[in-house]
Amino acid sequence: MNMKYYIIALVVSTFTMIAQADEKVKQDTVGNNFSIDIIAGGKIGGAAPLSLPKEIRKINKYTPAVPFLLGVRANYQIDQKWGVILGLTFEGKGMNADATVKGYKTTFNANDDPNENMRGYYTGDITTKVHNLYLSVPVLATYKLSEKWNVQAGPYIAFAVKRKFFGEATNGYMRSEVPTGEKLIVDEAAYDFSKSVRNIDVGASLGTSYNINKKLFALAQFDYGFNNIMKTGFESISFGMHNIFMNVGIGYKL
């Protein structure tokens, strides 16, 4: 489906939620405990293993990619301290990274025929570009520390609406199939694992917010994806990669 249809669907869903929430506030006797926020911000992080694998000898360059979030959140205050948030967020989770690797298990796309791809253990320079877009649904418990500060934590589920995972290798060589296989010189070779990225990302969020005034607030939130972003059975990278991001933004209380 074309990306513009996803964006249109997000906008329609957002305004539908707001309209329904406003109606609930008017009708519900607990309306004073119910509110809607709009949030927007940026992020830094990437698709990464839990620790730096021995195959990656040096990170030469890193930049965030599609580092944005835009969402709507419904808040319900249970009592003076505790509350719950249900959200819908359109966000990018990506990075551009250049690294020097040794014995890095991977596959290069030699041509359009998968049977002709180069597989093995690569040594040299490699770039990785991850540009994934998600619709995320967080469910967070909130605790009010003071009139200004509160903390939030809980799970999220994210649905990929665009999956891009690709890159290239330069100035290196590959040992074919096994670490001691035939040595193949690699001046330049591309790879594209986009179709192997999972459609669903499940994880947890931990964050805090600060009320600037009655309407505006600042927020910071750490997101960690529990599952490998690549599908089960994917073998072109020997280690798991997780969505790990720090989000910073601003919100407006409707």
Mean pLDDT of the chain: 89
CB distance 124 to 71 below 8 Å: no
Please give the single-letter amino acid code of residue 90: F
Better pLDDT: 29 or 59: 59
Report d(CA 234, CA 35) in Å as an integer.
43
What is the set of domains in the chain, with CATH numbers? Answer: 3-102+124-169+196-253 (2.40.160.20)
Q: CA dist 130 to 30, 74, 151, 216, 242, Å? A: 44, 30, 30, 32, 12
Torsion sign (Cα): 208, 215, 203, 224: negative
Say how far residue 238 (Cα) sits from the centre of its chain.
20
Q: How far apart are CA 59 and CA 173, in angstroms?
A: 18
Buried-state track 219-242, b at ≥16 Cβ within 10 A, e below 16 = bebebebebbbbeeebeebebebb
pTM: 0.84
Each residue of 203-218: b (16+ CB within 10 Å) or e? Answer: bebebbbebeeeeebe
Contact between 24 and 34 (Cβ < 8 Å): yes
As a whole-number percent, the residues of the chain with pLDDT over 90 amount to 78
The 3-state DSSP class for residue 52 equals coil
- What Rg value do the Cα atoms of the chain yield, rounded? 22
Assess contact for 174 and 105: CB atoms under 8 A. no
Span 115-168, pLDDT tens digits: 668 899 999 999 999 999 999 999 999 999 999 999 999 999 999 999 999 999
Chain CA centroid to CA 179, Å: 32
Q: What is the pLDDT of residue 32?
A: 77
Residue 34 one-letter amino acid: F
Considering all CA atoms of the chain, what is the largest pairwise distance in Å, rounded to the nearest integer? 74
CA 105 vs CA 119, 154, 189: distances in Å: 8, 35, 14
The two tokens of residue 179 are 């670490």
Query: Whole-angstrom Cα distance, residue 231 to residue 177?
Result: 21
> Quick check: 150 and 138 in contact, CB under 8 A?
no
What average pLDDT score do residues 19-42 get? 71
pLDDT in tens, 214-240: 999 999 999 999 999 999 999 899 899
